[in-house]
Structure 1
Amino acid sequence: MASNLPTVTSSSQKESCETTPYDSSSLTEETANNNANGGKKCALPSQDVNTFREPKSQTPGDNDPESGQLPALGATVSRATTVSKKRAYTFMILIVITQAVQMFAYGAGIIGAFTVGHAVGASDLQSTWIAAAYPLTQGSFVLISGRLGTVFGHKKMLTLGASIWIFWTLATAYGTNIVGISIMRALAGIGGGLLVPNAVALLTITFPPGRQRNLALALFASMGPVGGAGGCVFNGFFLQWTDWTWLFFFLAVLGAVVYGAAIIAVPDDERLDPEGKIDWVGSYLGVAGLVLFNFVWNQAPIVGWQDPYEYILLIVAIGHFAVFLIWESRWAVSPIIPFEIWKVPSFGALIVVCFFVFMSLGIYIWYVTVFLANLRNWDPVLLGCSFLPMAVSGTGAAFFAAWVVRKLPAEMVVCIGALGAVVMNILIATMPVHQTFWAMVFPAMILAGCTGDMVFAAGQIIASSIVTRKHQGTAGSLIGTLFTYGLSTGLGFAGTVEIYINKDGTNLLGGYRGASYLGIGFAGAAIVLTLLFVRMKKNTVEGWQGEDAETAEPSE
């Protein structure tokens, strides 16, 4: 990356002083240029250059993982940069918008499932695959894409993911049956799975731990509800007033414009582990296990558990998970999930809690949609507009999470989000068929935005703060897997509950309520697990830590 950054000399002092945190290679390059110019240095306003070596004071126990403190392995440094603020923040904004665009595709599946499905002759149950296919593969492939970015370069993986997403989103418009459309939605999800964690990694590598990173991640997280809900609104207009194929033409063009601009704006990043190896065996075991497990649960409501292949595939999926864990812990040379993450007390429990919350959120999003569509007969435009409160509250919640994660322990932040998931599903499970939108759906939408973004933003901030720069992509992959995979898997579990309550289609309302009660159960379990097993102190990390801080120091 250093080769692409402008050279700092005494003649460019004015420009270099307008900077924002970037990557450690800029410090090395700056030092080399200073030496080449007779030792002249450019200092930032009100900041002495020696502050690059001044460690942050630490208190006893900061380096003790048993205390539950996020690791502070060494000195904290301030980082100057040779990239202007204008370019760095332009890059940040464009990367953030990529999350909104790829979430448009998720919204397209939620609002458009029945419209598109009925247009190609599919039943309501079969049409759920239009909603489930995209987050299924996105969540599954997110698991390995962070590691791919670490070895091959995060920008390259971002570019590859964007290309896949655009191509298969465009191809979806040419689908003629439910199987073909679902497969192409799944292939587009692979592109999203490659795109999202590498976008997160580019942000977390660019901005060291602290307020600026928290702001960047909060912006990124806020695009989840903005993109999902905004996508629902735009998708509703396309589905109601045009042929459904135009929706996917529009998404492909939008992706080409936004992703193209982001790729141009992002500077070429250095490969953080250029000599590293990809654990292809572990990648196969992990991804195949996730895909099979999710497929079984989302297919079960359609074919029923009496079909033998459901049990066979479920056993095969669990077998993949078991072999994956054994392989990664004993034989993998470069495991796709760095095991130092799990050494932080309570982190494993936090992962389970986040997954439960995201499953509860996925259940809510689908069942409030089908409730309004099938029982209140809302058209696609009204359905899309009903998600606008979720976009607004989600945006605010993401920034609130970025602020509050420094003020409260992690378990409190997650508990607040999980409590919102409990209440929003209670509202949907108990609301009457005929009622004004403002009575129960509106507050439920407000809570849905707060729930998803508080937990997602807090999880990303905490995960990115406990690992080194080398593992930023992997940390982003882990939280991203939980989010999108949870949205899809929760839908499969809830579909099974719905189909057994709504026997032969005679109790549609009961089926929807039963699914919502399952969402309440997931969120309630998350609260209990958090209170019992999650103990993490406030995230007050500022600047790079440990070996990253050392590499940032200029050499004499």
Structure 2
Amino acid sequence: MSQTASTAPGVPDANRWRALVFIALAQLMVVLDATIVNIALPSAQQDLGISDGDRQWVVTAYALAFGGLLLFGGRIADLWGRKRAFVLGLTGFAAASALGGAAQSGAMMFGARALQGVFGALLAPAALSLLAVMFTDAKERAKAFGIYGAIAGGGGAVGLILGGFLTEYLDWRWTFFVNVPFAIVAAAGAYFVIREPQGSRNRSPLDIPGVVLSTLGLVSLVYGFTRAESDGWSDSLTITLFVASVVLLAAFVFTESRLKAPLLPLRVITDRNRGGVYLSLGLAIIAMFGTFLFLTYYLQVVKGYSPVKTGFAFLPMVAGMITGSTQIGTRLMTRVPARLLMGPGFLVAATGMLLLAQLQVGSSYGFLVLPALVLLGLGMGTAFMPAMSLATYGVQPRDAGVASAMVNTSQQVGGAIGTALLNTIASSATASYIKDHIATATSKPQAQLVQLQGMVHGYTGAIWFAVGILVLAATVALTFVNAGRPGAASVSGQGAGEGTEDEVQVPVVAH
């Protein structure tokens, strides 16, 4: 089958479910990579002689390239074709992973991670937009996005397990090499199986000013939060980066509003439903990323879990996400409005977060952490599934790639904010607690206990903020996501500023 093979408009592709397997495999690879490398970082740092000051670039190089180029990657997918972008993204990601696994120096590692980010920015929006254009029937779309949402949510915990096994029993280099077979299988399967609907490409000229402004603006924003975490919020470069990101992104929005063929048509984000989804997803990711980090440290440093045991400890959250996404979300998505899944889902997750805010040094995993993780997984799985679908629902097919990129951008920026903001809150609370209580420690064991208590105090203080952020995400979802009842006649997906020209009608998905 040729790479340009396509299906007639409105005719479902007979291979769409097989295509979902390869799209899901690629998504799993990208999500795994986010956590699997963190597990390998200490060993890689020692082998390659990377200094403590430079080790952050193993994570930062990827985050900057990925976050900065997402909108460009989404537009390229719309322009070249999503299948072509998907296969190219997989091939490049595999090559960059092999380069990272073979790295002989810190510079080689940083370059490989940046290349992973570049090709990830092409791959991620292509994968989501393929789902958006291939699955248009309401019930089928619900199932497809349920599977995708479960993988997107739970893959990180699987990465902890796999990363722990590979690092402990093989070598840190295998945390990179493992991507290669994933990518080869997904790329080969996609090449032979995936067929895009005809007429879904956007062949408008590429908006070069939009590419430059959006890339520089997003890089400044993500790097600003990364610097804030490592160097503080009052650092002069941190402040400069934030100011630059505001100026650049404001110029980007102004430029896009004046062009006939913009990189990001403002109709994509001014639609009330999609805007509400992007904002609530970003807020939820802020809460989740910080808490995921704290809980990993709590289990390993405070409770003494190994990396592998820590990964297994997160499995109840994965099970909850799969259940919430594929059972609750999928079954109810065609029956109730999306906001009545997203809002309560975020509130259930907030309840799980509320339990984690009660953590103490001696807390029981079975009585506190386990039920909290189950609630977090159920809530997030239930909320993410309709959010992923609604974020790309009703957009014109020619805008599917850039709409998908906005989903990934909200997650990437949310992750950067969550890690920096909540880590700052936790560090400040920990330092304050230790300063106030260290004088009461009369022996080394007591001093160590105060240190651990201070860490847990910092974690729980930050988790309280995460609870509030999830409640805010629920409020945004319930307030802004106002799409009609299932089966409503209007499916244009038009929002503020969205015209009716070339609008493609697709079957209604429950909102």
Aligned residue number for residue 468 of structure 2: 521
Displacement after TM superposition at 1:108 (Å): 0.7
Q: Where do residues 46-65 of structure 1 align in structure 2 (5 Å cutoff)? A: none
What is aligned with 1:370?
297
**Secondary structure of 1:473's match?**
helix
Over 3 Å counting, the alpha-carbon distance change for 1:431 and 1:469 in structure 2 is same
Amino acid at match of 2:394: I
Q: C-alpha separation between the residues in 2 aligned to 1:465 and 1:354? A: 15
**Among candidates 220, 229, 237, match of residue 301 of structure 1:** 229
**Is residue 2:275 matched to residue 1:348?**
yes
**Match for 2:77: what amino acid?**
G
Q: How many angstroms apart in 1 are the aligned matches of 2:504 and 2:317?
A: 39
1:544 CA displacement = 7.9
The one-letter amino acid of 2:243's match is: I
Distance 1:496 1:125 in 2: 18
Matched residue, 1:537: 484
- Cα 1:209–1:489 shift into 2, 3 Å: farther
Counterpart residue identity of residue 162, structure 1: L
Rounded to whole Å, the distance in 1 between the matches of 2:240 and 2:159 is 37
Report the alpha carbon displacement of residue 360 of structure 1 after superposing the two structures with TM. 0.8
| Residue 392 (structure 2) aligns with | 464
**Is 1:162 equivalent to 2:90 in the alignment?**
yes
Cα distance per residue 1:278-321 (max 9 Å; x no partner): 22211222222222112122222322344321211221112112
The gaps in structure 1 that reach 5 residues or longer are 6-21, 26-78
User: 1:383 maps to what in 2?
Assistant: 310
1:204 is the counterpart of 2:132: yes
**Change in 2 beyond 3 A, CA 1:457/1:360:** same
For 1:535 and 1:420, how far apart are their aligned partners in 2? 20
The residue aligned with 2:334 is 406
Aligned counterpart, 1:242: 170
Report which stretch shifted further, 113-122 or 429-438. 113-122
Q: Residue 221 of structure 1 aligns with which residue?
A: 149
Name the larger-Rg structure: 1
What residue in structure 1 maps to residue 374 of structure 2? 446
Q: 1:394 to 1:139 in 2, by over 3 A?
A: farther
- Return closer, same or farther for 1:117/1:550 CA change in 2, 3 Å cut-off: closer
Deviation sequence 1:248-305 (CA, Å, 0-9, x none): 1222333223333323322366563453122221122222222211212222232234
Equivalent runs, 1:134-213 vs 2, <5 Å: 134-135=62-63, 137-175=65-103, 181-182=109-110, 184-213=112-141
Task: Specify whether residues 109 and 188 from structure 1 end up closer, same or farther in structure 2 by C-alpha distance, changes over 3 A only.
Answer: same
Q: Hey, what's the Cα distance between the residues in 2 that align with 1:424 and 1:118?
A: 37
AA of the residue aligned to 1:109: V
Deviations 1:326-348 (A, max 9, x none): 1112x233223323334544543
With over 3 angstroms needed to count, the CA separation of the structure-2 counterparts of 1:300 and 1:126, relative to structure 1, is farther
Q: Is contact 2:3–2:83 with CA below 8 Å preserved after alignment?
A: no
SS at match of 1:435: coil
TM-aligned CA deviation for residue 490 of structure 1: 1.0
Q: Which residue of 2 aligns with 1:334?
A: 261
Matches of 2:106 and 2:424 in 1, distance apart? 20
Say whether the 8 Å CA contact 1:394–1:450 is kept in structure 2. Answer: yes
Distance (Å, rounded) in 2 between the aligned partners of 1:304 and 1:137: 22
Aligned residue number for residue 422 of structure 1: 350
Describe how 1:33-112 pairs up with structure 2 within 5 A.
Answer: 79-80=10-11, 85=14, 87-112=15-40
Which residue in 1 is equivalent to 2:457?
A: 510
Between 1:172-181 and 1:426-435, the stretch displaced more is 172-181
Indicate conservation of the 8 Å contact 1:136/1:488, yes or no.
no
Once the two structures are superposed, what CA deviation does each residue of 1:83-129 show, in whole Å capped at 9, x if it has no partner?
5x3x3322222222211122110121343445544665668897566
Is 1:317 matched up with 2:233?
no
The CA deviation at 1:158 is 0.9
Cα distance in 2 for residues equivalent to 1:198 and 1:328? 22
Change (3 A) 1:125 1:368: farther
Contact map agreement 2:75 2:402 (CA 8 A) in 1: yes
**Aligned counterparts, 1:125-140, within 5 A:** 130=58, 134-135=62-63, 137-140=65-68
Note if contact 1:363-1:494 (Cα within 8 Å) is conserved in structure 2.
yes
Q: Which moved more, 1:218-227 or 1:506-515?
A: 506-515
Q: Distance in 1 between matches of 2:302 and 2:489?
A: 51
Correspondence 1:484 to 2:431: no
Amino acid at match of 1:92: L
Question: CA separation in 1, counterparts of 2:57 and 2:334?
Answer: 40
Separation in structure 2 between the aligned mates of residue 3 and residue 95 of structure 1, nearest angstrom = 16
Q: Secondary structure at the match of 1:109?
A: helix
Distance 1:342 1:110 in 2: 33
For residues 440-466 of structure 1, the C-alpha deviation after alignment (integer angstroms, 9 at most, x for no partner) is 222222233234333332122213222
Residue type of the alignment partner of 1:527? A
Alpha-carbon distance in structure 1 between the residues aligned to 2:189 and 2:172:
27
Residue 361 (structure 1) aligns with: 288
Q: What secondary structure, in the 3-state scheme, does the structure 2 residue paired with 1:430 have?
A: coil
What residue is the counterpart of 2:444 in the other structure?
none
Which of 8, 15, 21 is the aligned partner of 1:24? 8
Match of 2:357, SS state, is: helix
Q: TM-score, normalised by structure 1?
A: 0.77
| CA 393–411 in structure 1, closer or farther in 2 if over 3 Å, else same | same
Which sits farther off after the overlay, 407-416 or 260-269?
A: 260-269
Name the TM-score, length of structure 2 as normaliser. 0.83
Report the residue type matching 1:311 in the other structure: I
CA–CA distance in structure 2, aligned partners of residues 377 and 452 of structure 1: 27
Structure 2: unaligned runs, 5 residues or longer: 435-450, 493-499
What residue identity is the alignment partner of 1:526? Answer: A
Write the deviation string for residues 407-437 of structure 1: whole angstroms up to 9, x where unpaired: 2223222212221332233222321223332
CA displacement at 1:396 relative to structure 2: 1.9
The Cα shift of 1:359 comes to: 1.0
RMSD: 3.2
Closer, same or farther: CA 457–540 of 1 in aligned 2, 3 Å: farther
User: 1:219/1:305 Cα in 2 relative to 1: closer, same or farther (>3 Å)?
Assistant: closer
Contact 1:24 1:551 in 2 (8 A): no
